[in-house]
Structure 1
């Protein structure tokens, strides 16, 4: 009764006071937005793919509910997996495949030893918008088999009218007011345009308290993969630009982000048989706290009038270290160092990237309406994984080098009512591994190094048609690719006499994505419907072995689904909207070339229905949003891995006072007790990873722009 009353009260608040309403902000007009993740400047009506732009206001609303950009994207993107509410994004997918995360086009992933930490590399305060491109594509290179999530950072001021910026203070706590649940955040960003040059710079600092479920029980920490609760993070961001001429500009961006656990709680096993979730009690974790430490820098040069076209060149560097929690794991043991069962260790994954991107686009004068984009990408990624307590290589130093030319053609016909596109990318990659010795639990085998390589040509073709004004249909075929997690393979070699050239299968995971869709944009409503199919002859699945560790298996995978969205401006003060996504994934479990079992919860998300209502009255606004994750059974998986489903309701109210904006966000408004999707569908006998989701959580934010 109480929950029903609370939900009714929230929606009644939206229904009242229409006479004093002011029009809410209009939805983002994608025809007017340049999608930098696609590397071309074109209207949405010319793009044969599903694209979602999450604007600054939407991000600010979600930031009043959650503590990461990943959670904001997951709440708004239809086919994004439920997040784990942990530092690790292991198992989080888009359309059943892993997305490529970018910050201003700089790749954040670690594909050679995929540790799934790439969603936590920048503070969301510095993000102006998020571009989500759904479905496989290779326009940004390795990693985008599920799509691209590009964090576009705050721009520098471009008008010489003094200083501009924003500041924010925030506190988050459990609804019961538990003292150790309180977290705090302070952030600021300031910039100025001095005419020929401009800059912006900012800093953010955040402490996060313990998390509690709806039953008032402290949620257990993920002491292995890492957690965002009971942690601190700080970040520095800067961007500066210099206008060489009216058409030539150089811009430099730098981002440093660190998140580290406090290690104040130790895990207490739950009980799956009785439904008791894993919890935590006060105590000191052993070893170094889990940590993400990231530095990204990029320099971009753009000439908008070079031989009648536009040249864009970017050079970037990315340095990442991810420390994981320790333990007396079987895979860490070595009786030459300590008796079996008494050797404590923990790992750290390191990735150092240097790369460049060069694009040149111009109209082809001989063919009216034809534009050509040509480019060249290069990257060098050095990755290794250490056991840091005993100074041992778990994954040897592995270097991935790639050089990839590409071409993309776009033809506009019939006054721009029809757009056709086609392109190809030639990936030329080499993997370099020196001689090394595996750790003791893999037999301490000597493995001869090597330099296996591959060449892969990836194609795309598509088209859009403006059927009538405001109605656009599109169809496309695109290939995406990524590398299998070769680090898992290298560290597990246990057969004598192996060499990398003959042993390691470095053929990429190539996914073929077909998509059909239609979008409608009318004066008071927008809608879309997209059907897609994504197949891979040799996919890379995460499969749990007998020791509880996930291995990578190369299996055929087939994924099919659809997404539908609707947004209606019901009145001048009220906007209603929602989305539905359906996914079905199958894989070849017995290796006979035919799919015969469902993809499990580590590889595909549940079907989901979302709905929201937004109302605005003068200086006040309110948003109520619902996410319903539907139950699911997995054919070929243990019955214990079935997903029960759950429904979450969130609400955010904002008051815009002359001095500042004040927001009150309530996550899990109805205090739903649930087990997180990943915990519910994996590790059916593991009581240490039986995590509940967060209960009702309150966030108070004070923000000011100047």
Structure 2
């Protein structure tokens, strides 16, 4: 039995970016957030930093690129940049792994991180995205760096039927096939009690080429891919206090790109697709299924000023990787995960006077997560892992004088993981020799921990609001990778301890008149035993477990000097250190696979006439030079490559023909710049050294009724 007890920490969050019209303009302070405390509450009551990406901003960015990981890199300051492929490897939040949710249903697979969780839904069905930045345990396992919660659309009309029809094409100025995209959304209220939302999206992408018109690498490519997304949400109001809602959200993506691979040379020649080569993948890459089912019940007045919310959910997820020759006889692998769970929240108002109010939120989370990584031929790369997580929680919130908010809470994690017996795969070393396959006896791993939160926000004046918080997360991250590289014949001898992150945050936010919004935040997160990918002497990847500290700053400014003009931007910077000895000397750096380069986001939004909207977005990644190459070989280790700076501009526009019809045009990489995504440099491997997407345009027609 492994036990860990920690002090009170923090389970809430705050606000950084939001959406008004098509821009990144900050919303009214009365906007509600429900991810931070699992209930609706005003931004001005949350004592830490949250980013909200609103519906109009999502739809505007969708005109440029429908990949949700690309949308997030332009809207969340402290999120690392996208790889431009189907994987979100390296796209960490504040230097740590993020927990992805859809309407509170966990999408991440922390038992075996498949790096496909961010790209698990189509943006057409998202009403808003709430991003909690910093460690949080409020939704359980995996939120070391924070939480990304996709909130799907709901019915907001009294009509029996209303809808949005969209059709669009994408293409590049180098010839080749066009991509097509179509969405049909229907919503309505059939009676005073019954409402619904139904949506179906299909997208077929074309070939992907760089700024020189050369086919991009087929590894994890989004080219020649069929993407499907379906949503069905049915709601029934029993009475004014009670509601039942059932929903299904399904996503699938499969690529039939039949191009070979021509491996380049790191830092010199990019890896590209070679039509004359052979694609060894026989099963289409992508995520062939991500099914999410949810049943919820709400009662606003259960007893004694107490509200109840209960959610039952089930997720069935499978993702398929490309061909790998790193193990004997090669093959393609799958990460398969099935989750079922229950979340029960009770919210009791303790008192409510003119100058103060108090409430307590308490409940229970139950989660069962069954995850494994298997090859297409049936061999196991990781064993079957069956996790049961039972976690009661309690949070207290006190508001004084409508200016001071104090929050605190506790959560008790009780986790048991059953691991089946398995044989490790015989892997190929750099010198061509093989590691020996061994039999590993499975068993039970048990974890218990008390984590918590405390946060304070003081709204002095509209132009100055201060907040401070201390928060924790608890996760069992990458247990599967630790198991699959086992050199022990029993799991009891493995280094499989959990990750507990302590997060400290201090910030200020405010609004000056009606023309300026700002936020500045600093943070530090520590863990006694973190987890990072490092390269072993034979150049294979292993998990390094060591004490860590990550710290950074971020901030944004938004100006609206005129009714038709809006501009602003954000800046984020971080550093990460680890101690590789017993004297507590944090002299080693966490590699660039987690610590991303400083990033600037900037935008200008114009509305010269009411019907026309024009915007320019800029992303600038700074140079990152934190490591030296091996003095003998001249090669960088994985995660340590120097990342050069680059700047990319996107263009987006829309024109309302009338109240029903709208035309949109977006251009990604509008100046057709040749550059490489950050992962191409920091990974420091020939196969990963690829160019980014060249100029690509999207034209869409929308009809609302």
Q: TM-score, normalised by structure 2?
A: 0.90
Whole-angstrom distance in 1 between the partners of 2:627 and 2:29: 40
Whole-angstrom distance in 2 between the partners of 1:505 and 1:424: 27
What do the CA deviations read for 1:556-589 (whole angstroms, capped 9, x no partner)? 2111111111111021110111111111111224
2:648 aligned partner:
648
Question: Is it true that 1:164 corresponds to 2:171 in the alignment?
Answer: no
2:202 aligned partner:
205
Question: Is it true that 1:455 corresponds to 2:448 in the alignment?
Answer: yes
* Unaligned ranges ≥5, structure 2: 1-20, 428-434
1:476 aligned partner:
469
Whole-angstrom distance in 1 between the partners of 2:536 and 2:205: 34
Task: Map 1:170-185 onto structure 2 (within 5 A).
Answer: 170-176=168-174, 178-180=175-177, 182-185=178-181
Whole-angstrom distance in 2 between the partners of 1:408 and 1:705: 42
Question: Is it true that 1:33 corresponds to 2:21 in the alignment?
Answer: no
Maintained 8 Å contact 2:390/2:415: yes
Whole-angstrom distance in 2 between the partners of 1:366 and 1:59: 37
Deviation at 1:157, TM superposition (A): 3.8
What do the CA deviations read for 1:48-75 (whole angstroms, capped 9, x no partner)? 1111111111001110111212211111
With over 3 angstroms needed to count, the CA separation of the structure-2 counterparts of 1:653 and 1:365, relative to structure 1, is closer
Whole-angstrom distance in 2 between the partners of 1:86 and 1:589: 33
What do the CA deviations read for 1:423-455 (whole angstroms, capped 9, x no partner)? 111000011012223234453322222111011
Whole-angstrom distance in 1 between the partners of 2:323 and 2:463: 56
Whole-angstrom distance in 1 between the partners of 2:262 and 2:667: 28
Task: Map 1:41-190 onto structure 2 (within 5 A).
Answer: 41-159=40-158, 161-176=159-174, 178-180=175-177, 182-190=178-186
1:336 aligned partner:
none
The alignment partner of 2:528 has SS state of strand
What do the CA deviations read for 1:200-221 (whole angstroms, capped 9, x no partner)? 1111111112221122222111
Deviation at 1:106, TM superposition (A): 0.4
Deviation at 1:648, TM superposition (A): 0.7
The alignment partner of 2:130 has SS state of strand
1:660 aligned partner:
661
1:219 aligned partner:
216
With over 3 angstroms needed to count, the CA separation of the structure-2 counterparts of 1:517 and 1:26, relative to structure 1, is closer
Whole-angstrom distance in 1 between the partners of 2:570 and 2:133: 15
Instruction: Give the counterpart of 1:309 among 298, 306, 311.
Output: 306
Structure number with higher helix proportion: 1
Task: Map 1:291-370 onto structure 2 (within 5 A).
Answer: 291-292=286-287, 293-307=289-303, 308-327=305-324, 329-331=325-327, 333=328, 343-365=329-351, 369-370=357-358
Whole-angstrom distance in 2 between the partners of 1:152 and 1:72: 15
1:596 aligned partner:
587
Maintained 8 Å contact 2:261/2:278: no
Maintained 8 Å contact 2:262/2:272: yes
1:404 aligned partner:
391
Deviation at 1:24, TM superposition (A): 8.1
Whole-angstrom distance in 1 between the partners of 2:425 and 2:624: 39
Maintained 8 Å contact 1:220/1:280: yes
Between 454-463 and 433-442, the greater mean CA deviation after superposition: 433-442
What do the CA deviations read for 1:249-288 (whole angstroms, capped 9, x no partner)? 0111111111011132121111225x22111122552321
Maintained 8 Å contact 1:531/1:561: yes
1:374 aligned partner:
362
1:290 aligned partner:
285
Question: Is it true that 1:529 corresponds to 2:520 in the alignment?
Answer: yes
With over 3 angstroms needed to count, the CA separation of the structure-2 counterparts of 1:212 and 1:590, relative to structure 1, is farther
1:575 aligned partner:
566
With over 3 angstroms needed to count, the CA separation of the structure-2 counterparts of 1:25 and 1:346, relative to structure 1, is closer
Whole-angstrom distance in 2 between the partners of 1:379 and 1:504: 24
The alignment partner of 1:539 has SS state of coil
Whole-angstrom distance in 2 between the partners of 1:392 and 1:643: 37
2:375 aligned partner:
387
What do the CA deviations read for 1:439-483 (whole angstroms, capped 9, x no partner)? 344533222221110111112101000112342110000001221
Aligned positions, number = 660
Instruction: Give the counterpart of 2:414 among 407, 410, 428.
Output: 428
Question: Is it true that 1:281 corresponds to 2:288 in the alignment?
Answer: no
Maintained 8 Å contact 1:313/1:358: yes
Whole-angstrom distance in 1 between the partners of 2:40 and 2:580: 43
Instruction: Give the counterpart of 2:437 among 440, 444, 451.
Output: 444
Whole-angstrom distance in 2 between the partners of 1:23 and 1:269: 41
Deviation at 1:122, TM superposition (A): 1.3
